[in-house]
Structure 1
Protein backbone atom coordinates (compact mmCIF):
# COMPACT_ATOMS: atom_id res chain seq x y z
CA UNK A 1 0.00 0.00 0.00
CA UNK A 2 1.23 3.51 -0.83
CA UNK A 3 2.63 5.45 2.12
CA UNK A 4 -0.25 7.29 3.80
CA UNK A 5 -2.90 5.33 1.89
CA UNK A 6 -5.87 4.04 3.82
CA UNK A 7 -6.93 0.38 3.80
CA UNK A 8 -9.03 -0.51 0.79
CA UNK A 9 -11.90 -1.60 3.05
CA UNK A 10 -12.99 2.03 3.45
CA UNK A 11 -13.18 2.60 -0.30
CA UNK A 12 -15.23 1.65 -3.31
CA UNK A 13 -13.42 -0.26 -6.01
CA UNK A 14 -11.04 1.95 -7.96
CA UNK A 15 -10.75 4.69 -5.33
CA UNK A 16 -7.57 5.59 -3.51
CA UNK A 17 -7.57 7.48 -0.24
CA UNK A 18 -4.28 9.18 0.64
CA UNK A 19 -3.79 11.51 3.61
CA UNK A 20 -2.77 14.97 2.41
CA UNK A 21 -4.00 14.26 -1.13
CA UNK A 22 -6.14 17.03 -2.63
CA UNK A 23 -9.49 15.87 -3.97
CA UNK A 24 -12.24 17.56 -5.90
CA UNK A 25 -15.52 15.93 -4.96
CA UNK A 26 -18.97 16.45 -6.38
CA UNK A 27 -22.04 15.24 -4.57
CA UNK A 28 -25.61 15.64 -5.75
CA UNK A 29 -28.85 16.00 -3.83
CA UNK A 30 -31.37 13.16 -3.89
CA UNK A 31 -33.22 13.21 -7.21
CA UNK A 32 -31.46 16.54 -7.89
CA UNK A 33 -33.99 18.33 -5.72
CA UNK A 34 -32.78 21.98 -5.44
CA UNK A 35 -32.87 21.93 -1.64
CA UNK A 36 -29.54 23.83 -1.45
CA UNK A 37 -31.17 26.92 -2.99
CA UNK A 38 -32.76 27.58 0.43
CA UNK A 39 -30.43 29.99 2.29
CA UNK A 40 -31.09 28.28 5.63
CA UNK A 41 -30.17 24.89 4.17
CA UNK A 42 -27.07 26.26 2.47
CA UNK A 43 -25.84 27.76 5.75
CA UNK A 44 -26.25 24.37 7.48
CA UNK A 45 -24.24 22.66 4.76
CA UNK A 46 -21.50 25.27 5.04
CA UNK A 47 -21.47 24.83 8.81
CA UNK A 48 -20.93 21.09 8.44
CA UNK A 49 -18.13 21.62 5.90
CA UNK A 50 -16.48 24.01 8.37
CA UNK A 51 -16.87 21.45 11.18
CA UNK A 52 -15.01 18.80 9.18
CA UNK A 53 -12.30 21.34 8.39
CA UNK A 54 -11.97 22.43 12.03
CA UNK A 55 -11.76 18.79 13.19
CA UNK A 56 -8.94 18.09 10.74
CA UNK A 57 -10.88 15.58 8.62
CA UNK A 58 -10.26 17.82 5.61
CA UNK A 59 -8.44 21.03 4.75
CA UNK A 60 -11.05 22.94 2.81
CA UNK A 61 -9.58 24.89 -0.11
CA UNK A 62 -12.57 25.93 -2.25
CA UNK A 63 -16.22 25.06 -2.67
CA UNK A 64 -19.42 26.11 -4.36
CA UNK A 65 -22.96 25.10 -3.43
CA UNK A 66 -25.24 24.93 -6.43
CA UNK A 67 -29.01 24.44 -5.95
CA UNK A 68 -28.76 20.65 -6.36
CA UNK A 69 -25.08 19.78 -5.88
CA UNK A 70 -21.81 20.64 -4.18
CA UNK A 71 -18.30 20.92 -5.62
CA UNK A 72 -15.65 20.83 -2.86
CA UNK A 73 -11.88 21.00 -3.21
CA UNK A 74 -10.06 19.81 -0.10
CA UNK A 75 -6.97 18.08 1.21
CA UNK A 76 -7.71 14.87 3.10
CA UNK A 77 -6.61 14.98 6.74
CA UNK A 78 -4.10 12.56 8.23
CA UNK A 79 -5.62 9.23 9.20
CA UNK A 80 -8.88 9.90 7.40
CA UNK A 81 -10.55 7.93 4.63
CA UNK A 82 -12.07 9.82 1.70
CA UNK A 83 -15.27 7.78 1.68
CA UNK A 84 -15.66 8.14 5.46
CA UNK A 85 -15.08 11.91 5.40
CA UNK A 86 -17.61 12.45 2.60
CA UNK A 87 -20.04 10.01 4.23
CA UNK A 88 -19.74 11.82 7.57
CA UNK A 89 -20.37 15.16 5.86
CA UNK A 90 -23.40 13.88 3.96
CA UNK A 91 -24.86 12.08 6.96
CA UNK A 92 -24.51 14.98 9.38
CA UNK A 93 -25.60 17.68 6.91
CA UNK A 94 -28.52 15.53 5.73
CA UNK A 95 -29.68 15.05 9.31
CA UNK A 96 -29.47 18.81 9.98
CA UNK A 97 -31.32 19.65 6.77
CA UNK A 98 -34.12 17.22 7.58
CA UNK A 99 -34.40 18.64 11.11
CA UNK A 100 -34.56 22.18 9.74
CA UNK A 101 -37.19 21.35 7.13
CA UNK A 102 -39.20 18.98 9.36
CA UNK A 103 -38.91 16.10 6.93
CA UNK A 104 -37.43 12.62 6.60
CA UNK A 105 -35.63 10.70 3.91
CA UNK A 106 -32.45 11.05 1.92
CA UNK A 107 -31.03 14.48 1.19
CA UNK A 108 -28.01 13.34 -0.86
CA UNK A 109 -27.59 10.69 -3.50
CA UNK A 110 -25.62 7.75 -2.14
CA UNK A 111 -22.55 8.09 -4.32
CA UNK A 112 -20.20 10.95 -5.08
CA UNK A 113 -17.66 11.72 -7.77
CA UNK A 114 -14.05 12.32 -6.79
CA UNK A 115 -10.95 13.42 -8.65
CA UNK A 116 -7.53 13.20 -7.00
CA UNK A 117 -5.52 16.13 -8.26
CA UNK A 118 -2.15 15.39 -9.80
CA UNK A 119 0.91 17.18 -8.46
CA UNK A 120 1.18 19.21 -11.66
CA UNK A 121 -2.39 20.56 -11.46
CA UNK A 122 -2.55 24.18 -10.33
CA UNK A 123 -4.76 24.30 -7.22
CA UNK A 124 -5.69 27.95 -7.67
CA UNK A 125 -6.83 27.29 -11.25
CA UNK A 126 -8.94 24.33 -10.14
CA UNK A 127 -10.40 26.49 -7.35
CA UNK A 128 -11.28 29.24 -9.85
CA UNK A 129 -12.99 26.64 -12.03
CA UNK A 130 -14.96 25.34 -9.02
CA UNK A 131 -16.21 28.70 -7.79
CA UNK A 132 -17.05 29.89 -11.33
CA UNK A 133 -19.82 27.27 -11.62
CA UNK A 134 -22.65 29.80 -11.07
CA UNK A 135 -21.22 31.98 -13.87
CA UNK A 136 -21.03 29.06 -16.32
CA UNK A 137 -24.56 28.00 -15.35
CA UNK A 138 -25.84 31.52 -16.14
CA UNK A 139 -27.11 32.02 -12.61
CA UNK A 140 -25.22 35.30 -12.12
CA UNK A 141 -23.24 37.75 -14.23
CA UNK A 142 -20.58 38.31 -11.56
CA UNK A 143 -19.31 35.78 -9.05
CA UNK A 144 -19.69 38.33 -6.27
CA UNK A 145 -23.45 38.17 -6.84
CA UNK A 146 -23.54 34.51 -5.77
CA UNK A 147 -23.50 33.86 -2.02
CA UNK A 148 -22.58 30.19 -1.67
CA UNK A 149 -18.88 29.81 -2.45
CA UNK A 150 -15.48 30.32 -0.88
CA UNK A 151 -11.79 29.77 -1.56
CA UNK A 152 -8.71 30.12 0.65
CA UNK A 153 -7.01 32.30 -1.97
CA UNK A 154 -9.32 35.26 -1.26
Structure 2
Protein backbone atom coordinates (compact mmCIF):
# COMPACT_ATOMS: atom_id res chain seq x y z
CA UNK A 1 0.00 0.00 0.00
CA UNK A 2 1.22 3.50 -0.80
CA UNK A 3 2.31 5.59 2.16
CA UNK A 4 0.06 8.34 0.87
CA UNK A 5 -3.30 7.49 -0.58
CA UNK A 6 -5.40 9.92 -2.57
CA UNK A 7 -9.11 9.39 -2.97
CA UNK A 8 -11.85 11.57 -4.38
CA UNK A 9 -15.44 12.35 -3.65
CA UNK A 10 -16.30 15.82 -4.84
CA UNK A 11 -12.83 17.12 -4.08
CA UNK A 12 -9.42 15.41 -3.69
CA UNK A 13 -8.31 14.39 -0.21
CA UNK A 14 -4.94 13.32 1.12
CA UNK A 15 -5.05 10.64 3.80
CA UNK A 16 -1.58 9.37 4.80
CA UNK A 17 -1.85 6.02 6.63
CA UNK A 18 -1.19 6.41 10.34
CA UNK A 19 -1.92 10.13 10.39
CA UNK A 20 -4.00 12.05 12.90
CA UNK A 21 -7.15 13.43 11.28
CA UNK A 22 -9.61 16.20 12.04
CA UNK A 23 -12.95 15.24 10.49
CA UNK A 24 -16.24 17.11 10.33
CA UNK A 25 -19.35 15.32 9.09
CA UNK A 26 -22.86 16.73 8.97
CA UNK A 27 -26.51 15.82 8.65
CA UNK A 28 -27.91 15.52 5.15
CA UNK A 29 -30.22 18.51 5.56
CA UNK A 30 -27.79 20.72 7.49
CA UNK A 31 -27.10 23.12 4.61
CA UNK A 32 -29.26 24.36 1.73
CA UNK A 33 -28.16 22.90 -1.61
CA UNK A 34 -27.63 26.41 -2.95
CA UNK A 35 -25.08 27.17 -0.22
CA UNK A 36 -23.25 23.86 -0.73
CA UNK A 37 -23.01 24.44 -4.46
CA UNK A 38 -21.73 28.01 -4.00
CA UNK A 39 -19.03 26.92 -1.52
CA UNK A 40 -17.85 23.99 -3.63
CA UNK A 41 -17.86 25.97 -6.87
CA UNK A 42 -15.84 28.75 -5.27
CA UNK A 43 -13.23 26.29 -3.98
CA UNK A 44 -13.02 24.40 -7.27
CA UNK A 45 -12.50 27.65 -9.20
CA UNK A 46 -9.73 28.65 -6.78
CA UNK A 47 -8.04 25.24 -7.12
CA UNK A 48 -7.99 25.48 -10.91
CA UNK A 49 -6.63 29.04 -10.77
CA UNK A 50 -3.82 28.01 -8.40
CA UNK A 51 -2.88 25.12 -10.67
CA UNK A 52 -2.44 27.56 -13.55
CA UNK A 53 -0.85 30.49 -11.73
CA UNK A 54 1.25 28.91 -8.96
CA UNK A 55 1.99 25.28 -9.83
CA UNK A 56 5.20 25.20 -7.76
CA UNK A 57 3.33 26.39 -4.65
CA UNK A 58 0.18 24.39 -5.30
CA UNK A 59 0.41 22.01 -2.32
CA UNK A 60 0.88 24.82 0.19
CA UNK A 61 -1.72 27.03 -1.44
CA UNK A 62 -4.38 24.34 -1.63
CA UNK A 63 -3.80 23.51 2.04
CA UNK A 64 -4.51 27.15 2.94
CA UNK A 65 -7.52 27.37 0.63
CA UNK A 66 -9.08 24.24 2.11
CA UNK A 67 -8.74 25.77 5.58
CA UNK A 68 -10.48 28.94 4.36
CA UNK A 69 -13.18 26.84 2.74
CA UNK A 70 -13.76 24.95 5.97
CA UNK A 71 -14.15 28.19 7.94
CA UNK A 72 -16.84 29.35 5.51
CA UNK A 73 -18.48 25.94 5.64
CA UNK A 74 -18.37 25.88 9.46
CA UNK A 75 -19.78 29.40 9.70
CA UNK A 76 -22.79 28.29 7.67
CA UNK A 77 -23.36 25.31 9.99
CA UNK A 78 -23.11 27.32 13.21
CA UNK A 79 -24.54 30.73 12.32
CA UNK A 80 -28.19 29.65 12.03
CA UNK A 81 -28.43 25.86 12.39
CA UNK A 82 -30.39 24.63 9.38
CA UNK A 83 -32.51 21.52 8.98
CA UNK A 84 -34.00 19.19 11.56
CA UNK A 85 -30.90 19.21 13.81
CA UNK A 86 -31.57 15.62 14.88
CA UNK A 87 -28.37 15.57 16.95
CA UNK A 88 -30.08 17.82 19.49
CA UNK A 89 -32.01 14.72 20.53
CA UNK A 90 -30.07 13.01 23.37
CA UNK A 91 -30.83 9.51 22.11
CA UNK A 92 -29.57 10.34 18.62
CA UNK A 93 -26.43 12.04 19.90
CA UNK A 94 -25.81 8.99 22.10
CA UNK A 95 -25.89 6.70 19.06
CA UNK A 96 -23.05 8.71 17.49
CA UNK A 97 -21.13 8.96 20.76
CA UNK A 98 -21.34 5.20 21.30
CA UNK A 99 -20.10 4.40 17.80
CA UNK A 100 -17.12 6.75 18.09
CA UNK A 101 -16.08 4.99 21.30
CA UNK A 102 -16.85 1.52 19.94
CA UNK A 103 -14.22 1.85 17.20
CA UNK A 104 -11.69 3.42 19.57
CA UNK A 105 -8.71 1.14 20.12
CA UNK A 106 -9.18 -0.88 16.94
CA UNK A 107 -9.27 1.50 13.97
CA UNK A 108 -8.04 4.61 15.75
CA UNK A 109 -7.13 6.28 19.00
CA UNK A 110 -10.02 8.64 19.82
CA UNK A 111 -8.57 12.00 20.85
CA UNK A 112 -11.55 14.39 20.87
CA UNK A 113 -15.02 15.02 19.52
CA UNK A 114 -17.96 17.40 19.77
CA UNK A 115 -21.47 16.50 18.62
CA UNK A 116 -23.27 19.66 17.58
CA UNK A 117 -26.99 19.92 16.62
CA UNK A 118 -26.38 19.31 12.91
CA UNK A 119 -22.74 18.21 12.60
CA UNK A 120 -19.93 16.36 14.37
CA UNK A 121 -16.26 17.20 14.87
CA UNK A 122 -13.87 14.35 15.66
CA UNK A 123 -10.09 13.97 15.96
CA UNK A 124 -8.66 10.47 15.55
CA UNK A 125 -5.12 9.06 15.42
CA UNK A 126 -4.91 6.12 13.00
CA UNK A 127 -1.31 5.15 13.85
CA UNK A 128 -2.72 2.44 16.12
CA UNK A 129 -3.15 0.37 12.93
CA UNK A 130 0.57 0.56 12.14
CA UNK A 131 1.73 -1.31 15.25
CA UNK A 132 1.76 -4.99 16.17
CA UNK A 133 0.20 -6.56 19.25
CA UNK A 134 3.07 -5.14 21.32
CA UNK A 135 2.52 -1.64 19.85
CA UNK A 136 5.83 -1.84 17.97
CA UNK A 137 5.77 0.08 14.68
CA UNK A 138 5.55 -2.17 11.65
CA UNK A 139 8.03 -1.75 8.78
CA UNK A 140 5.29 -1.32 6.19
CA UNK A 141 1.60 -0.50 6.05
CA UNK A 142 -0.35 -3.74 6.59
CA UNK A 143 -2.65 -5.02 3.86
CA UNK A 144 -5.63 -4.90 6.22
CA UNK A 145 -5.10 -1.20 7.03
CA UNK A 146 -8.48 0.57 7.11
CA UNK A 147 -8.40 3.89 5.27
CA UNK A 148 -10.00 7.03 6.66
CA UNK A 149 -12.89 6.98 4.18
CA UNK A 150 -13.68 3.38 5.18
CA UNK A 151 -13.59 4.33 8.86
CA UNK A 152 -16.05 7.13 8.15
CA UNK A 153 -18.32 4.72 6.26
CA UNK A 154 -18.36 2.46 9.33
CA UNK A 155 -19.27 5.38 11.57
CA UNK A 156 -21.85 6.97 9.31
CA UNK A 157 -23.41 3.77 7.98
CA UNK A 158 -24.39 2.15 11.27
CA UNK A 159 -25.35 5.40 13.00
CA UNK A 160 -27.52 6.36 10.02
CA UNK A 161 -29.39 3.05 10.24
CA UNK A 162 -29.93 3.29 14.01
CA UNK A 163 -30.95 6.95 13.94
CA UNK A 164 -33.44 6.39 11.12
CA UNK A 165 -34.99 3.49 13.02
CA UNK A 166 -35.35 5.58 16.16
CA UNK A 167 -36.78 8.54 14.24
CA UNK A 168 -39.01 6.33 12.08
CA UNK A 169 -37.65 7.93 8.93
CA UNK A 170 -36.10 6.79 5.64
CA UNK A 171 -33.42 8.14 3.33
CA UNK A 172 -29.91 9.48 3.85
CA UNK A 173 -29.23 10.67 7.39
CA UNK A 174 -25.71 12.06 6.84
CA UNK A 175 -24.43 14.18 3.98
CA UNK A 176 -22.29 12.15 1.59
CA UNK A 177 -19.17 14.26 1.96
CA UNK A 178 -17.08 14.83 5.06
CA UNK A 179 -14.45 17.49 5.62
CA UNK A 180 -11.14 15.89 6.60
CA UNK A 181 -7.72 17.31 7.29
CA UNK A 182 -4.60 15.48 8.44
CA UNK A 183 -2.90 17.15 11.39
CA UNK A 184 0.71 18.10 10.72
CA UNK A 185 2.14 18.87 14.15
CA UNK A 186 1.39 19.00 17.87
CA UNK A 187 0.58 22.70 17.98
CA UNK A 188 -1.94 22.35 15.17
CA UNK A 189 -3.51 19.44 17.06
CA UNK A 190 -3.88 21.57 20.19
CA UNK A 191 -5.39 24.43 18.17
CA UNK A 192 -7.91 22.08 16.54
CA UNK A 193 -9.00 20.54 19.83
CA UNK A 194 -9.41 23.96 21.43
CA UNK A 195 -11.50 24.98 18.43
CA UNK A 196 -13.67 21.87 18.75
CA UNK A 197 -14.38 22.13 22.46
CA UNK A 198 -15.27 25.83 22.19
CA UNK A 199 -17.74 25.21 19.37
CA UNK A 200 -20.79 24.80 21.68
CA UNK A 201 -19.73 27.86 23.67
CA UNK A 202 -19.47 30.05 20.57
CA UNK A 203 -22.82 28.69 19.37
CA UNK A 204 -24.42 29.78 22.66
CA UNK A 205 -25.33 26.26 23.77
CA UNK A 206 -23.35 26.42 27.04
CA UNK A 207 -21.21 28.94 28.91
CA UNK A 208 -18.36 26.53 29.74
CA UNK A 209 -17.18 23.81 27.38
CA UNK A 210 -17.06 21.26 30.21
CA UNK A 211 -20.84 21.64 30.63
CA UNK A 212 -21.64 20.34 27.17
CA UNK A 213 -22.58 16.64 27.41
CA UNK A 214 -21.36 15.69 23.95
CA UNK A 215 -17.81 17.03 24.09
CA UNK A 216 -14.93 14.63 24.77
CA UNK A 217 -11.17 15.04 25.14
CA UNK A 218 -9.00 12.00 25.85
CA UNK A 219 -7.93 11.77 29.47
CA UNK A 220 -4.45 13.10 30.07
CA UNK A 221 -4.34 15.16 26.90
CA UNK A 222 -2.76 18.54 27.60
CA UNK A 223 -4.49 21.43 25.88
CA UNK A 224 -1.74 23.87 26.74
CA UNK A 225 -2.29 27.54 27.57
TM-score range, shorter chain: 0.7 to 0.9
Deviations 1:110-146 (A, max 9, x none): 0010111112534233212111100111221111221
C-alpha distance in structure 2 between counterparts of 1:115 and 1:136, whole Å: 22
Task: Describe the shift of the 1:131–1:120 C-alpha distance in structure 2 as closer, same or farther (beyond 3 A).
Answer: closer
1:110 is aligned to 176
C-alpha distance in structure 1 between counterparts of 2:156 and 2:189, whole Å: 24
2:115 is aligned to 65
What's the CA shift for 1:17? 2.2
Deviations 1:92-115 (A, max 9, x none): 110111122222111100001011
Task: Describe the shift of the 1:120–1:143 C-alpha distance in structure 2 as closer, same or farther (beyond 3 A).
Answer: closer
Structure in which a larger fraction of residues adopt helix: 2
What's the CA shift for 1:20? 1.9
- Decide which of 134, 146, 150 is 2:200's aligned counterpart: 134
SS in 2 for 1:110: strand
C-alpha distance in structure 1 between counterparts of 2:15 and 2:114, whole Å: 22
- Decide which of 79, 89, 96 is 2:155's aligned counterpart: 89
2:211 is aligned to 145
C-alpha distance in structure 2 between counterparts of 1:124 and 1:88, whole Å: 26
1:30 is aligned to 28
What TM-score do the two structures reach when normalised by structure 1? 0.87
- Decide which of 77, 86, 91 is 1:40's aligned counterpart: 91
Task: Describe the shift of the 1:120–1:39 C-alpha distance in structure 2 as closer, same or farther (beyond 3 A).
Answer: closer
Report the RMSD for the aligned CA atoms in angstroms. Answer: 1.9
What TM-score do the two structures reach when normalised by structure 2? 0.61
Work out which of the two has the higher radius of gyration on C-alpha atoms and give 1 or 2.
Answer: 2
